[in-house]
Structure 1
Amino acid sequence: MKILIAPDKFKHSMSAQDVCKIIETTLKKESTNLKIESLPMADGGEGTSEILALQANAKPVTAKVYDPLMRNIEAQYFIKGNTAFIEMASASGLQLLKSDEQNVLKTTSFGTGELIKDALNKGCDKIILCIGGSATNDGGVGMASALGFQFLNNEGEQFLPTAENLHQIKSIKLPEDNLLKGSKVSVLTDVNNPLTGKNGASYQYAIQKGALKKDLEFLDQGMMHLKDLIFQQFNFNIDQYPGAGASGGMGGGATFFLNADLYSGIEFIADALNLDNKVKNADLVISGEGKLDTQSFQGKVVSGVLNSCHKNHKPLFLVVGYNSFKNEFPKEIKGVYSLTDLAKSQEEAIKAPEKWLVEATQILYEDSISLLF
């Protein structure tokens, strides 16, 4: 029996590589007759650049940059040839802040711009930018500032805008030295929200980055101001593509400041990792993630693997940290195994995820045998 293991990370618990290793080791103990291929997955969120770098055999590079609160840190990205794989979260991520430091009004994406600049200065002219997990809601203006864009207020003074003062930008000056000339930037996102409005960056994601409910209208108005200003000054709409609202508006901002193309992360990665062909050659597929919910079927790893299983008529089994999906599952999904259910509580599952993943895999194996044979 040929098994393909293609999970996402279990956020704050296990990397996709760890999940693959545990499932594969457990299955091999169950049977020596299995042919197993592990394919750690990602969808544009945290960990994506590492997955792509692993596939491309890219080398890690470290750069000194500013974090979301403009403190000095070292951040890592990857280079293969003239291609750089950069993760926004490594320089501008929520993971870099303590809970009491999270304040989306004051955080900046400046450090992400510094990583891009470092890659360009090292000769990279192809940038793959993965933008999940940000601590920001600045529409990418911090990143743009690091790349030479100037943001001027009513007095004509240059300043570094954040979400709390986007509305103070009176005009934008393009860089005198266009570092990005001749380069191609691809931005991967795991959501397809617009930039503004009730389904946009501010209303949907700012609270998890430290905003209060009373801040949301103000934040959205700031983003609308940025959008309107860029349209008036440059005749460019930064809210024209799905995913413009991703990572505090970085998706939309990148289409202007970086002349970037926006991609669904899971579609880009599925293509890069040759997922369809690997699913086609398997008898069954195992995927999963930390929390299974409605969003799992809307541009996340599970949705990408499910689509491939549907196309190739293959059974899919899911192992998840917690299952909050209450609707009927698609017919391709033959079993869902929740670590929380096995551990009897989310707290217990989080304490020893490896233990419960082993148990879930053992049960999955028995179920798959009865189903396939």
Structure 2
Amino acid sequence: MKKVLIMPDSYKGTLSAIQICDIMKECILEHFPKCETIAIPIADGGEGTVDSFLYAMNAEKIMVETTNALGEPILTYYAKVKDTAIIEMACAAGLPQVEGRLNPRRATTYGVGTIIQHAIEHNCKHIILGLGGSCTNDGGIGAALALGTIFYNQKDEPFIPCADTMTEIKYIDNRVTKRLLSGCKVTAMCDIKNPLYGPNGAAYIFSPQKGADPETVKLLDQNLIALSEVIKTSFQKDVSNIPGAGAAGGFGAGVIAFFNGTLTSGIDTILDLIQFETLLENADMIFTGEGRIDRQSLGGKVVIGIGERAKQKQIPVIVIAGSVADNIKEAYHMGISAIFSINQQAMDFSQSRYFSDINLRHTMDNLLRFYKTISCQ
């Protein structure tokens, strides 16, 4: 074994993608000391995305003062690679920052817009925005406000709307934001297909985990409908049924409407940025994984995204997962060569989670011993 790529997602609740990379790399070098190992922790837009780029690409860590979803001052950071900024929405509008104080009617993405503005002012021409882990449902209007968009109420007066007051918006003036973003491309990493509103939209599917009770869910959905209509009249854009528009409390729609941005697969965005096909040259194998591989994994997330692109170059892809569900045979037709669970004993996750480190080491050790044995024959 001369060259291996290590590209896992996290095992949520147990090991980060960076920890998994380090463990896999140690095991590989123990058995194949001269093997070239390229470790790239993967986070496809959610928590850990920026740290993954800082680890894998020697990106520059840019500190920035902004505000969280409740308007409180915070210090956070984004990653910069040449003229590209990688920003996590969750770093300024994430659930952990307002734990115990969730309020989707008031939570704002304003702080995310402040970070985008900082990146533009520091000569970034491509903004890559991860939409995972948000606590907001404001359709991105907070971020738009931070970038100069003006919202007018029914009295033709400028005002500051939030998720609770979208029905008061009469029209939107986006000219300042357009000038600010001229010459700048905005790409949002988005792996969900939910529309902006309706039974499968942002409010009904995601706002309950952000603190919304049934009455609030209904209100937020109606407000997103109102926002969609005013976007249509102000910009001649219909964002209501665009797949992914409902991501991050409707921020998917906001990226398209306010920033003229695009929604793309998180894993494909990352693979393009790291020049995956170039990394594949002369590779013997790829190790990837996630906390649980199941039917949802087959929908184009990290493992399958890697598998499908590696398949074109006929590079084997080994999945090391926390657990493995039934009915995933399709994965073997999507570039995956083999799938293994790290669990060594039959035990509930509440117990096994504390052994994830050692179980991963045991699994890698056994696989590498087997590979060494058959490669010597």
The normalised TM-score by structure 1 is 0.89
Give the structure 1 partner of residue 153 of structure 2.
153
Give the structure 2 partner of residue 306 of structure 1.
307
Q: Compared with structure 1, are the counterparts of its residues 18 and 151 closer, same or farther at alpha carbon in structure 2 (3 Å cutoff)? A: same
Partner AA of 2:207 in structure 1:
A
Q: What is the rounded CA distance, in whole Å, between the counterparts of 1:114 and 1:371 in structure 2?
A: 55
Q: Compared with structure 1, are the counterparts of its residues 96 and 344 closer, same or farther at alpha carbon in structure 2 (3 Å cutoff)? A: same
Q: What is the rounded CA distance, in whole Å, between the counterparts of 1:147 and 1:80 in structure 2?
A: 22
Give the Å deviation of 1:223: 1.3
Partner AA of 2:274 in structure 1:
L
Larger deviation: 115-124 or 337-346?
Answer: 337-346
Give the Å deviation of 1:97: 2.2
Name the SS for the 2:197 alignment partner.
Answer: coil
Deviations 1:109-148 (A, max 9, x none): 1100010112222333332222221111111001111112
Give the structure 2 partner of residue 179 of structure 1.
180
Larger deviation: 356-365 or 211-220?
Answer: 211-220
Is the contact between residue 342 and residue 356 of structure 2 (CA under 8 Å) also seen in structure 1?
yes
Partner AA of 1:328 in structure 2:
K
Q: Compared with structure 1, are the counterparts of its residues 7 and 121 closer, same or farther at alpha carbon in structure 2 (3 Å cutoff)? A: same
Give the structure 2 partner of residue 290 of structure 1.
291
Q: Compared with structure 1, are the counterparts of its residues 293 and 233 closer, same or farther at alpha carbon in structure 2 (3 Å cutoff)? A: same
Partner AA of 1:285 in structure 2:
I
Is the contact between residue 342 and residue 360 of structure 1 (CA under 8 Å) also seen in structure 2?
no
Q: What is the rounded CA distance, in whole Å, between the counterparts of 1:274 and 1:371 in structure 2?
A: 31
Is the contact between residue 108 and residue 136 of structure 2 (CA under 8 Å) also seen in structure 1?
yes
Task: Point out where structure 2 has 5 or more consecutive residues left out of the alignment.
Answer: none
Partner AA of 1:365 in structure 2:
L
Aligned runs of 1:319-334 on 2, under 5 Å? Answer: 319-324=320-325, 326-331=327-332, 332-334=335-337
Q: What is the rounded CA distance, in whole Å, between the counterparts of 1:212 and 1:241 in structure 2?
A: 26
Is the contact between residue 339 and residue 349 of structure 1 (CA under 8 Å) also seen in structure 2?
no
Name the SS for the 1:206 alignment partner.
Answer: helix
Q: Compared with structure 1, are the counterparts of its residues 173 and 212 closer, same or farther at alpha carbon in structure 2 (3 Å cutoff)? A: same
Give the Å deviation of 1:26: 1.8
Q: Compared with structure 1, are the counterparts of its residues 214 and 190 closer, same or farther at alpha carbon in structure 2 (3 Å cutoff)? A: same
Name the SS for the 2:180 alignment partner.
Answer: coil
Alignment pair present for 1:355 and 2:358: yes
Q: What is the rounded CA distance, in whole Å, between the counterparts of 1:127 and 1:296 in structure 2?
A: 27
Alignment pair present for 1:138 and 2:141: no
Q: Compared with structure 1, are the counterparts of its residues 367 and 137 closer, same or farther at alpha carbon in structure 2 (3 Å cutoff)? A: farther
Deviations 1:89-122 (A, max 9, x none): 1111113221x22232221111000101122223
Deviations 1:183-208 (A, max 9, x none): 22222223232222333222222222
Give the structure 1 partner of residue 129 of structure 2.
129
Q: What is the rounded CA distance, in whole Å, between the counterparts of 2:193 and 2:344 in structure 1?
A: 31
Q: What is the rounded CA distance, in whole Å, between the counterparts of 2:64 and 2:87 in structure 1?
A: 11
Give the structure 2 partner of residue 338 of structure 1.
341
Q: What is the rounded CA distance, in whole Å, between the counterparts of 2:372 and 2:30 in structure 1?
A: 15
Give the Å deviation of 1:296: 1.7
Give the structure 2 partner of residue 227 of structure 1.
228
Name the SS for the 1:60 alignment partner.
Answer: strand
Aligned runs of 1:33-72 on 2, under 5 Å? Answer: 34-72=35-73
Q: What is the rounded CA distance, in whole Å, between the counterparts of 1:85 and 1:132 in structure 2?
A: 13
Aligned runs of 1:111-260 on 2, under 5 Å? Answer: 111-176=111-176, 178-239=179-240, 241-260=242-261
Task: Point out where structure 1 has 5 or more consecutive residues left out of the alignment.
Answer: none
Give the Å deviation of 1:175: 4.9
Give the structure 2 partner of residue 106 of structure 1.
106
Deviations 1:135-181 (A, max 9, x none): 11111001111112122333444443332332232222335574223
Aligned residues: 372
Partner AA of 1:349 in structure 2:
S
Name the SS for the 2:172 alignment partner.
Answer: strand
Give the Å deviation of 1:40: 2.1
Partner AA of 2:71 in structure 1:
M
Q: What is the rounded CA distance, in whole Å, between the counterparts of 1:336 and 1:371 in structure 2?
A: 18
Name the SS for the 2:216 alignment partner.
Answer: helix
Query: What is the root-mean-square deviation of aligned Cα atoms in Å?
Result: 2.6
Q: What is the rounded CA distance, in whole Å, between the counterparts of 1:58 and 1:36 in structure 2?
A: 19
Q: What is the rounded CA distance, in whole Å, between the counterparts of 1:258 and 1:168 in structure 2?
A: 22
The normalised TM-score by structure 2 is 0.88
Partner AA of 1:179 in structure 2:
L
Q: What is the rounded CA distance, in whole Å, between the counterparts of 1:325 and 1:290 in structure 2?
A: 15
Give the Å deviation of 1:230: 0.7
Deviations 1:40-83 (A, max 9, x none): 22322222233345555331122211101111111111234433
Q: What is the rounded CA distance, in whole Å, between the counterparts of 1:180 and 1:260 in structure 2?
A: 10
Name the SS for the 2:291 alignment partner.
Answer: strand
Q: Compared with structure 1, are the counterparts of its residues 353 and 229 closer, same or farther at alpha carbon in structure 2 (3 Å cutoff)? A: same
Q: What is the rounded CA distance, in whole Å, between the counterparts of 1:253 and 1:160 in structure 2?
A: 16
